[in-house]
Amino acid sequence: MTEINWGIIGCGDVTEVKSGPAFNKIDHSTLVAVMRRDAAKAADYARRHHVPAWYSDADALINDPNVNVVYVATPPSSHADYAIRAMRAGKPVYVEKPMALNFAECNAINRVSCETGVPLFVAYYRRAMPYFLKVKELAESGAIGLIRGVSVQVHWLPPSAYADARQPGWRVSPEVSGGGYFHDLAAHQFDFLEYALGPIDAATGMTRNQSGLYTADDMVVANFSFASGALGTGSWCFTVNPAQRSEQTQLIGSAGTLTFSFFGGNIIRLETAAGTEVITVPHPEHVQQPLIAQIVAELRGEGYSASTGETGARASQIMDWITG
């Protein structure tokens, strides 16, 4: 494969800035078709982003001879169906995160990739973003000594959480998302923590729905351990007072502490006996572009993607351990 011609299934919000424009900003990569069940919205997206073709039927996009790679950007409940259909048609797939509703569905997708030999990638784009690569570099370099512990805290009120309790969005509908805001956000966190620190070999947790606004859990606490011997704790609360919003992750080492944010900024704080160093690493305009560039390179035989179907399934397995 020399020229990568992308088709998007589900050209919704995530594709407007995070991913969609990036496909045309990478050498040998072009966005040639989009699909959304709402034909008017598909046509509007194609017009605004200068995409040559649009569809309201997924099979029409998958079977478009001009499309040779499919990006599945729908909610998780349809990831397995669309990804498997595309791979059965011989087209590599880049699927949004979390990879599927649960670990069992991730395994089903991966089995088809193995059976067909068709490549599969997952949108855990923090594996390629400069900010997170700097965190990984600092952790691996021994800047804070041996990693002893990890502390994850996400206490915030998502903007849509209380918008209309009678009509909650898909992210808090477990049958569509696999869970709630925990599944939406913690997926990124566990994926990157494994990438930076090695495999998580056990995890347990407790969950509650404290607000009663929707069926998904809005409070999750967890303990987890790494094969390296490091231990981790996490707290995710989505019903806090907006003024008490906080989100940070700390890597606690034998010689210092590394503090960073998954969702809220571009500052890394390195604290050791020598003092405190504040490191700023800007985010790219399109946060998925570095990972998409890796995928394009792999499909062209020029490199490798850090995020695959096998690595992508791990975050779902860890969340299953925690939430049961």
pLDDT digits (tens, 9 = 90+) for 237-274: 998 888 888 999 999 999 999 999 999 889 999 999 99
**Cα(98)–Cα(183) distance, integer angstroms:** 7
Beta-carbon contacts of residue 265 (< 8 Å; ≥ 6 apart)? none
What are the E-state strand segments in 281-322? Answer: none
Q: Where in the chain is the domain with CATH 3.30.360.10?
A: 130-283
Q: What is the mean pLDDT of the chain?
A: 95
Structure confidence at residue 7 (pLDDT): 98
Considering only the top CATH level, what class is 130-283?
A: alpha beta
User: For residue range 92-133, what is the model confidence (pLDDT) as tens digits?
Assistant: 999 999 999 999 999 999 999 999 999 999 999 999 999 999
Domain covering 4-123 in this structure, CATH number: 3.40.50.720
| Residue 209 pLDDT greater than 90, yes or no | yes
Residue 161: band (very low, low, confident or very high) from pLDDT cuts 50, 70, 90: low
Q: Which of the residue ranges 8-17, 159-168, 181-190 would you say has the lowest mean pLDDT?
A: 159-168
Choose between 190 and 163: higher pLDDT: 190
pTM recorded for the entire structure: 0.95
Phi, psi of 314 (to 5 degrees): -60, -40
Return the pLDDT at 264: 85
Length of the chain in terms of residues written: 324
* Closest-CA residue to 109 (of 142, 73, 151, 80): 80
C-beta separation of 148 from 253 below 8 A: yes
- Cβ(217)–Cβ(210) below 8 Å: no
Question: Where, residue-wise, is CATH 3.40.50.720 in the chain?
Answer: 4-123
Q: With a cut of 80, say whether residue 198 has pLDDT above it.
A: yes
- Nearest-angstrom CA–CA distance, 230 and 164: 41
